[in-house]
Amino acid sequence: MINKNTIVLGIESSCDDTSAAVIQNEAILSNVIATQDIHKKYGGVVPELASRAHQQNIVPVVHAALLEAGKTLDDLDAIAFTRGPGLMGSLVVGTAFAKALALSKNIPLIDVNHLQAHILAHFIDKNDGNKPEFPFLNLTVSGGHTQLVLVKDYFEMQLLGTTIDDAAGEAFDKIGKILGLEYPAGILIDKLAKNGNKDAFTFAKPKVDDYNYSFSGLKTSVLYFIQKQEKLNPRFCEENLSDLCASVQFTIVETLLTKVRLAIKNFPCKDLSISGGVAANSALRQDIIKLGEENNLRIHIPEQQFCTDNAAMIAIAGKLMFERGMLATQEISANARLKIGV
Ligand code: KG4
Ligand code: ZN
């Protein structure tokens, strides 16, 4: 099954970004992403609009990815797509498209787990050739997921902890909305926090057992705090925006790291990595690097374009699955609630 020159097309459509990428062995030749701006108007992803936009975008995005990679459909060894988890309507578009394309070209079809793919993004070729060694600990933080995972092998992942309510990215986005910021607010909070004081306001950190997380309490306490302050000064939020962003960001990052510290202690590994959209956060990146230095751990953070939802991570997962003969059949269907492993 191992082909010296494996070329895989990856397709990602789990949420609000339509993406296609071409990988040759471990090197990404193209990674095209069509972001759906329509959701900004509503302050969050509207599932029905997302699936309609995927349908409009998928053909031009795949076409652009092939063009940029300098490949044609005839060059492909396999087609990998996101089976789940995600929004059902969005997943169905990518699944149906990938199935039809694989059938028409008579090439293997590969169903990728989006959560595994966020982690497998660490195996995309980088200039430094640095890749995590098994076993390693990975924190996946995105708009839909917060998971602390012990990665024993490419496809042997143990879920240590997860969020019991909002995901970390969701917390950034929902708190951003309270602060009057546009969706998705994570990147804006990150930017504004650079000019703010993280100690200006103190928000309680959640107390949740084991390796699990909770972020909805923080959202509520920020909301009540702002409402109270705005009764005294209607311009409170505006006048303290950078400090609020820095304090909220600090609380989220500290909450995330508390459980990572516990996992490092109980599951000794040489490598620690972060993935998912929130891994683009500059405070989290900085603090995780510091944590690595303090604990003599190698730290792995994917390039920014491979942190947020992208098809390059689907393509690398697909390539690794292709080599292992992990293929799908035409009977496969999308699964909105796909889990990461044990
Ligand atoms: O992985 P992703 O693209 O999609 C999901 O699978 O959910 O993650 C998107 C999330 C959003 O919540 C967005 O606000 C957050 O990642 N995000 C950030 C930053 N960039 C993206 N959060 C904090 N700081 C950032 N720089
Ligand atoms: Zn994601």
The rounded Å distance from CA 277 to ligand 1 centre is 3
Give yes or no for residue 280 CB within 6 A of ligand 1: yes
Residue 342: the pLDDT is 52
Residue 43: the pLDDT is 76
Give yes or no for residue 144 CB within 6 A of ligand 1: yes
Q: Where are the alpha helices (DSSP H) in 155-240?
A: 168-178, 186-193, 216-232, 236-239
Q: Which atom in ligand 1 lies closest to the alpha carbon of residue 282?
A: 26
Residue 3: the pLDDT is 54
Residues flanking ion ligand 2, Cβ below 5 Å: 142, 309
Count of CB atoms situated within 10 Å of the CB of 1: 11
List, in order, residues 6 or more apart from 300 with CB less than 8 Å away.
Answer: 122, 130, 131, 132, 136, 271, 272, 273, 274
- Two tokens, residue 260: 């990572």
Give yes or no for residue 169 CB within 6 A of ligand 1: yes
Contact indicator for 315, 30 with CB cutoff of 8 Å: no
Q: Do the bridges between strand 136-141 and strand 271-275 make them parallel or antiparallel, or are there none, so unpaired?
A: parallel
Residue 36: the pLDDT is 78
Confidence (pTM): 0.94
Give yes or no for residue 176 CB within 6 A of ligand 1: no
Q: Which atom in ligand 1 lies closest to the alpha carbon of residue 16?
A: 4
Residue 199: the pLDDT is 98
- Percentage helix, strand, coil, to 5, in the chain? 45, 20, 35
Low-confidence residues in the chain, pLDDT < 50 = none
The rounded Å distance from CA 6 to ligand 1 centre is 30
The closest residue, in CA terms, to atom 13 on ligand 1 is: 186
Task: Please provide the DSSP assignment of 96-137 as one string.
Answer: HHHHHHHHHHT--EEEEEHHHHHHHGGGS--TT-----SSEE
Q: Which atom in ligand 1 lies closest to the alpha carbon of residue 169?
A: 12
Give yes or no for residue 196 CB within 6 A of ligand 1: no
